[in-house]
Each structure stands twice: as C-alpha cells, then as structure tokens.
Structure 1
Amino acid sequence: MTTTLLITRQLEVHDHLLARGWRLDGDTGPADVKFLDDATAGWSYPASFGGRRTNEVGDTTPMVLQCYFTFGDEGEVVFGVLPAGNLRGSGCAKHDTRERLFPLTGTGHVDLVTLTAMVEELEPLARAHDVRALVECRYFGPCGTRRR
C-alpha cells in the first residue's frame, strides 16, 4: 500500500467525522503514516452522554462512541466502530458495547456511506445514554433483573 493511499483514506474519514462533530484522539494525526499503528489514534464522539464529562476510572467508566482503524483476524486493515456504553459483556444488551468491524473497499478506502449509516444510528443512542444508569447496570446487574 502506498503512503499516499494510507494518508488519503485517513484524511477522508477524519474530515467526514469532524464535519459531524467528532474529535481526533491519540498522539498522532491522520496525515501521519504512524497513525495506523498508534493504539490511541482514532476519533470519539464528544456528545456521548449528552456531552457531559465523566471522570476516567480504569475499566469502570462507560465508553464513549468511537471509531478507529485496526487490524482484523487475518491481519488486514479494517475500520472499527465502538458504540457508547459498557464494555463488552458487562450489563444488559441495551447498554453493552460490541465492537463493529468492517473491511475496507476494494480500493482500500473506508466506505463512507456505510460509516454514515452506522453513526447516524449510534450517535443519538450515545447522546441519550446516562452514565449513572450505565454504571448501575454494570455493577448491580443487567437492567430489569435487579431486586428491589
């Protein structure tokens, strides 16, 4: 893969997500070849949880909606979307976070139509999540199963 293609596809996603109100995360920018190998690089949706800030507490703090380039099972580059909510397997299905991976197009780009459809579904859910409800779901049992 050429450096030009690598940077072009990163910048396409970057421009697309920033136009939707997302922010860049990590130590490198999408115009950097090292962006793909930076485990902290990607984008997050600051309007998650109604835009309220939460303190970061290890594996406890619910995840905000985020996107990133990563590697698939066969080592191929894929694009990942992590919905806002509790880490996988902790809490109810409504509040559970399951990473969604999709392959790049035949030309090596992110399918922005598919990405747009996915984030249009996930952004309102991320905005509506209540951090307190997520934490209670995680630590006191899945929603609807708690004894009173």
Structure 2
Amino acid sequence: MTTPTDPRFTRQRSVHEFLTARGWHLDGDSDPGEAWFANDPNAGWHYPASFGGERINEVSDTTPVPLQGYFTFGEEGEEVFTIVAAGNLRGSGCAEHDTRERFFPLTADGGVDLAPVAALLDTLESRARDLDARAVVECLYFGPCPGSAR
C-alpha cells in the first residue's frame, strides 16, 4: 500500500480524477492509489462514449479498441503516460481508423502534465464518439477505406 505522499499515488490519482471528470471509466480491478497500478497490464482507463457508446462484443484481434489511456514504459524504459486513439490496432486498415500510442513523459517531479493530454483528448474524444464500429471492422478486414492515404 502506498502512502498519500508517494509520488506514484499522487500521479495516478491525479490522472484518474482528470479522466473520470471527462467521463472516462477505470479498467480492471486495480486502484490507482496502489503502487503496483502502473505495473498491472489491465490497469488503465477507457472512454465509454467511443463508437457512440455502442456496446461491442469482444472478439480477439477483431474488436476495435475504444479510446484508452494507461501508464507504460517508453522506448528508453522510462515510465510514461499513454493515450491510444479508438480504432484498429497494429497498423491494420486505413490511417483514419489506425491507432497509435501517444506518449507523455513524466514531469521532473514525477507527475503528468495534463494540459497537452487535455488538448489531445479534445480532438480524440470527439473522433471516438463519431466512429462507426462496423466501418472500423470493415476497414480492418477489407483494407483501407476509399480515399485514405494508405
């Protein structure tokens, strides 16, 4: 158990409060106030309004992913906060429906600068709400959408 002065606790709770205030939900059974939260592969948040809030059955490697965020490790092994756009994973389909991780390095005091995260989410949340899950799956299986750059 962490203490309220632990920078991990402060960082994780601050991101949690920021995202849940925007309508995001916590994933898994982990508590952002636990030190091991960032090491839990199921810990993070998702934006339930993705795909117009439509419920999508889970099918491995097929189901489009909702807009999501979590703590992970960057290319140099440093801890970072990451946002993943809603859509198809692993470069499948067109650029419009593809997802990629956006990494936010931790600040000097070990926190997350939420201003650039908020600016990105202003765009990605709107896009996620408007995405049609059927179109994203068709893009995955039938190739790039008409008019895409890919």
Fold shared by both chains (TM-score > 0.5): yes
Q: Which runs of 5+ in 1 are unaligned?
A: none
Amino acid at match of 2:79: V
Amino acid at match of 2:24: W
Amino acid at match of 2:76: E
Which residue of 2 is the match for residue 138 of structure 1?
A: 140
Out of 64, 67, 70, the position equivalent to 1:68 is 70
Amino acid at match of 2:28: G
Which residue of 2 is the match for residue 55 of structure 1?
A: 57
What displacement does 1:69 show? Answer: 0.4
| Pairing 1:15-30 to 2, within 5 Å after superposition | 15-30=17-32
Is the CA contact 1:83–1:126 (under 8 Å) kept in the aligned structure 2? yes
Q: Percent identity?
A: 62
Give the distance between the partners of 1:9 and 1:58, measured in 2 at CA.
32
Give the distance between the partners of 1:140 and 1:92, measured in 2 at CA.
10
Which residue of 1 is the match for residue 129 of structure 2?
A: 127
Query: TM-score w.r.t. structure 1 length?
Result: 0.94
Moved over 2 A (4+): none
Give the distance between the partners of 2:39 and 2:16, measured in 1 at CA.
16
Query: TM-score w.r.t. structure 2 length?
Result: 0.93
Amino acid at match of 1:134: V
Give the distance between the partners of 2:31 and 2:57, measured in 1 at CA.
25
Q: Secondary structure at the match of 1:123?
A: helix
Q: What whole-Å deviation, never above 9, does each CA across 1:82-141 have from its counterpart, x for those lacking one?
A: 000011310011011111112111111111101111111100000000010001111011
What displacement does 1:27 show? Answer: 2.5
Which residue of 1 is the match for residue 82 of structure 2?
A: 80
The alignment yields a C-alpha RMSD, in angstroms, of: 1.3
Amino acid at match of 2:146: G
Give the distance between the partners of 1:15 and 1:67, measured in 2 at CA.
13
Amino acid at match of 2:49: A
Alignment length (residue pairs): 144
Out of 99, 116, 119, the position equivalent to 2:118 is 116
Give the distance between the partners of 1:100 and 1:112, measured in 2 at CA.
13
